Copies of this chain bind each other. A is one copy, B any other.
C-alpha cells in the first residue's frame, strides 16, 4: 500500500502564467516578423506557442494588444542590451563603440525582434506609432547623454556648429537606417557594420578619405 503510485498533483501540469506569457510573446514575435501584422493569424501564434487561442486572449488580449505588447517587450530588450553594452568607465569613443556593437549584435541575434520593431511596426502605421516613438526617444536620450557629456567637457555647448541632442537624433537615425539595410545584406558581420558607422560618426568622412581609420583600442 505504501508504494502505491500517486498521480502527480494536477497543478504540476500547469505552467506559471509568466512562463506562458513568455511563450506566447516569443511565438507572436516570430509570426509577426514573418507575415506582418495584418497577415499574421492568431491560429499560427497559438500553434507556434503551443497555447490555446482562448488562453492567449485571456492572458494577453486580442491581436492588437498582442502586437503592442510585442513591441514594448522587444523595445525594452533592445534598450537594455545597448545599456548593458555601454560601459561608462571607458572613454567616449569606446562607449559609443560598445553601444553600437551591442545594438548590431542584438539585431543579428534577435532578427525577428528588430523586424517587428522597425519594419512591421512602421508598415502597420499610426496605431503603434506611440510605442515606437517612445523607444526612439529613449534611444536618443541614451546617445545624447554620451554626446552631451563628452561635448560639455570640451566646452562645445557654446558652438553653433554643435548640438548634442541633434547629433544624437542623427546618430540614431543613421543606426536604424543601416540596420534596416543590413536585413537585406546579412552576409556582412555585425562587427563590420558597427565599424562602418563608428568610422563615419567618430572620424567623419574627411578623415576617412584621408586614409584615417578608427579601430577599437582593446
Q: How far is the CB of A81 from chain B (nearest CB, A)?
A: 20
Q: Interface majority SS on A: helix, strand, loop or mixed?
A: helix
Is A62 in the interface zone, CB < 8 Å from B?
Answer: no
As for how many copies of this chain the complex holds, the number is 2
- A105 CB to nearest B CB, Å: 17
- Within 8 Å by CB of A204, from B150, B162, B172, B204, lies B204
Contact with B along A185-210 (1 / 0, CB 8 A): 00000001101110111111111111
**A180 contact set on B, CB distance < 8 A:** 169, 173
Cβ-based interface call for A16 (8 A):
no
Q: Is A197 a contact of B170 with CB atoms below 8 Å?
A: yes
Also in contact, A151 and B203, with CB within 8 A (given A122-B125, A177-B172): no
A156 interface hit (Cβ, 8 Å): yes
Are B200 and A203 interface neighbours, CB within 8 A?
Answer: no
The yes or no answer to A93 lying at the interface (CB within 8 A) is yes
Whether a CB of chain B sits under 8 angstroms from the CB of A214 is yes
Q: A126-B123, A156-B209, A178-B166 are in contact. Are A196 and B93 (CB under 8 A)?
A: no
Is A161 positioned at the interface, with any CB of B under 8 Å from its CB? yes
Separation of A154 and B200 alpha carbons in the complex (Å):
16
User: In the complex, A211 Cα to B175 Cα: how many Å?
Assistant: 25
Residues of B within 8 A of A131 (CB): none
Q: A160-B192, A208-B156 are in contact. Are A38 and B174 (CB under 8 A)?
A: no
Kindly name the residue among A151, A163, A192 whose own CB sees the greatest number of chain B CB atoms within 10 A.
A163
Say yes or no: is A85 at the interface (Cβ < 8 Å to chain B): no
Could you tell me the distance in whole angstroms from the C-beta of A153 to the nearest C-beta in chain B?
Answer: 8
B147 touches A205 (CB 8 A): yes
CA distance A151 to B199 in the complex (A): 13
A residues adjacent to B (C-beta < 8 A): 36, 38, 92-93, 96, 122-126, 129, 147, 150-151, 153-156, 159-163, 166-167, 169-178, 180-181, 192-193, 195-197, 199-211, 213-215
Q: What are 14 A-B residue pairs whose CB atoms fall within 8 Å in the complex?
A: A38-B126, A123-B125, A123-B129, A156-B211, A161-B214, A166-B193, A170-B175, A170-B200, A171-B200, A173-B180, A176-B177, A201-B201, A201-B204, A204-B204
